[in-house]
Amino acid sequence: MDVVRESAQAGRVVLWEESARDGAQAKTLMSAGFRARLAREQGRMFGADGPRHVVFAAGFPAVCGEEFEAVRRVAVEAEGAVSVAAVCRGRAEDVRQAVASVRGTAHARVMVVVPASEAMAHTMAHRPARESLAAAADLVKAARDLDDRVAVDVCFADASRADHELMAEHAAALTCAGAGVIVLADTVGGQLPYEASELFSMIQTGPDVVLASHLHNDLGLGLANTLEALRAGVRVVASSWLGLAERSGMAATEQLLFLLAHDPVRAAGLLGTNAPAWWTVPDLTALPRLAGMVSAETGVPLAVTTPIVGSGVGTISTGTPFVHPELFQPFDPERLLGITPSVVLTQLASLRVVTAVAARLGHRLDGHQARAALAWTKARAYRTNQAVVEDEVFAAYLDGLTAGAPE
C-alpha cells in the first residue's frame, strides 16, 4: 500500500523532507547516523502515522559509495518512522541503484528526476522535453519490475517553465505506468505566488494523479508559493529544516509545519476544506529541538530573527510587551512550542524589565536601586555598542549595588 498516495487523496498533508538530500546542495553534509536519527525524530512527531505524513529524502545514492550506504542506513534504521526515499537521475543504472538502496524496507520510495522544460531537457537529457517525459514511463516500469513494494515518484525538473498541457499529459501517463507522486519543481525558485497558484491549478489531471510541490526560495517566496500549492489542492509539499537546499533554499519545515498545525481553523481556511489535515496532529513542541539538532549538525546558525525556532522567539526586552506579551506576538510560544518566555536586558529596558531580571538573578531592588540599575544598563549598552547585557555582567553590577558599593 502506498500510504503517501492514500494520505494525499484523503486530503491529509504530507511533508517531503529535503534537508538531508537537497540540503547537501546548500554546502552541508549530514552524517548517516544523524540522517537516521532526524528521520526517526521527525516521524515521531506524528506518532504511528509518521510514514503517512513524512517522506524523508535520505540522499542521492549515485553520488558515491558512502552516500549509497548513508541512504541504506536511513532506510533500515528509520523504517516504520517515516517513508524513506532515495533520489536519482532519469537513468536506468541510477534507478536500479536507488531501488537497491531502499528495497526490503517498509514504505520505501525512489524519486526519479526528469527535465520538463525544453531548456532543461536539452541540457540534462539532450533531447526534447516530450521525449524526456515519455522515457520516464519506462523508468517507472523498470523500477516497479525490480521491486513492486518500492513506490516510484517522478519529479518534473523546471516545471515552472514547462508546458502545462505537456506535463498534464505525462503526469497522467506516468501514474498509469505505476508512479506514486508527480512532483512539480520550481527548480530556479523564480516564481511569484500567483504563478505558483497557476502552475498547480492549470495542470488538469484525473483524480488518480497525485501532485506534489518542490519550490525553491531564490526570491524569498518559497514558503508563500508552497502555501499557494496547498490552496490549489496539493497535499504533498517539499520543505527542509532551516530551509536548507540549493542556493537560497526552500520552505523551512519548521515554519511550514507550524503554520499548518498551530491553528486548525486558519489551516482549514488555507486548505479550503473542512477535512482534517492530519491523521495524527503533530507535536509542535519538537520543532525547536529538531531545528537545534540540525543547526548543530550542519553549522547553520539559528538567528534571533529565525521564525518559529530562532533565539528571539519568546524573548521580551521592552516595557509594554513585558506587561502585555499577547499584544506583541501572534502565538503563545510556551503553549505551542514549549518555549519558556525569557526577559532579556538591553538598552530598551524599562524599570519593570530591570526589576524582573534582577529578581531572576536573586536581587530585590527598591525604587532608587531600580532607577540606578536602569541608567547603568542603558549607559553600558551604548558604551560597549552591545545591545544585550549578559546575566553575569548584570549580576556582578547588582552585587555591588545592593551591597552599597559606589555606582
Q: Does residue 114 fall inside a structural domain? A: yes
pTM recorded for the entire structure: 0.90
**Does 183 share its domain with 322?**
no
Is 7:279 a contact under the CB 8 Å cutoff?
yes
Rounded CA-CA distance 316/344 in Å is: 6
Q: What is the pLDDT of residues 371-391, one digit of tens each?
A: 999 999 999 999 999 999 999
**What is the arithmetic mean of pLDDT over 155-173?**
94
Q: How confident is the model at residue 64 (pLDDT cuts 50, 70, 90)?
A: very high
Q: How confident is the model at residue 313 (pLDDT cuts 50, 70, 90)?
A: confident
CATH code for position 123: 3.20.20.70
In this predicted structure, what is the pLDDT of residue 221? 96
**Does 252 share its domain with 284?**
yes
Which of 298, 330, 351 terminates a domain? The answer is 298
Q: What is the pLDDT of residues 193-215, one digit of tens each?
A: 999 999 998 887 788 999 999 99
Q: Does residue 153 fall inside a structural domain? A: yes
Q: How many CB atoms lie within 10 A of CB 5?
A: 21
Q: What is the pLDDT of residues 65-76, one digit of tens each?
A: 999 999 999 999
Q: How confident is the model at residue 327 (pLDDT cuts 50, 70, 90)?
A: low
**Does 49 share its domain with 125?**
yes
* Residue numbers of the domain that contains 177: 3-298
- Name the nearest CA neighbour of 108 among 158, 147, 138: 147
Q: How confident is the model at residue 364 (pLDDT cuts 50, 70, 90)?
A: very high
In this predicted structure, what is the pLDDT of residue 210? 96
Q: Does residue 277 fall inside a structural domain? A: yes
**Does 171 share its domain with 238?**
yes
Cell numbers 519538537 correspond to: 286
**Does 155 share its domain with 229?**
yes
Cell numbers 501572534 correspond to: 330
**Does 56 share its domain with 174?**
yes
Q: What is the pLDDT of residues 8-44, one digit of tens each?
A: 999 999 999 999 999 999 999 999 999 999 999 999 9
**Does 290 share its domain with 318?**
no
**Does 127 share its domain with 265?**
yes
Q: Does residue 306 fall inside a structural domain? A: no
pLDDT-wise least confident of 2-6, 381-385, 402-406: 402-406
Reduced 3-state DSSP string for 68-91 = HHHHHHHHHHCECCEEEEEEEECC
Which of 235, 264, 298 terminates a domain? The answer is 298
pLDDT surpassing 80 at residue 319 = no
Rounded CA-CA distance 107/97 in Å is: 17
**Does 293 share its domain with 318?**
no
Count the residues in the chain: 407
Is 376:407 a contact under the CB 8 Å cutoff?
yes
* Strand 109-115 versus strand 83-89 pairing type: parallel
Q: Does residue 30 fall inside a structural domain? A: yes
Q: What is the pLDDT of residues 208-256, one digit of tens each?
A: 999 999 999 999 999 999 999 999 999 999 999 999 999 999 999 999 9
Alpha helices in 86-221 (DSSP H): 92-102, 118-124, 129-146, 164-176, 193-202
Q: Does residue 308 fall inside a structural domain? A: no
**Does 227 share its domain with 322?**
no
pLDDT-wise least confident of 187-191, 245-249, 315-319, 393-397: 315-319
Q: Does residue 305 fall inside a structural domain? A: no
pLDDT-wise least confident of 30-34, 104-108, 283-287, 303-307: 303-307
In this predicted structure, what is the pLDDT of residue 6? 97
**Does 325 share its domain with 291?**
no
Q: Does residue 303 fall inside a structural domain? A: no
**What is the arithmetic mean of pLDDT over 83-104?**
96
**Does 15 share its domain with 94?**
yes
Which of 268, 298, 328 terminates a domain? The answer is 298
Q: What angle do CA 173, 177, 180 make, to 5 degrees?
A: 95
Q: How many domains does the chain fold into?
A: 2
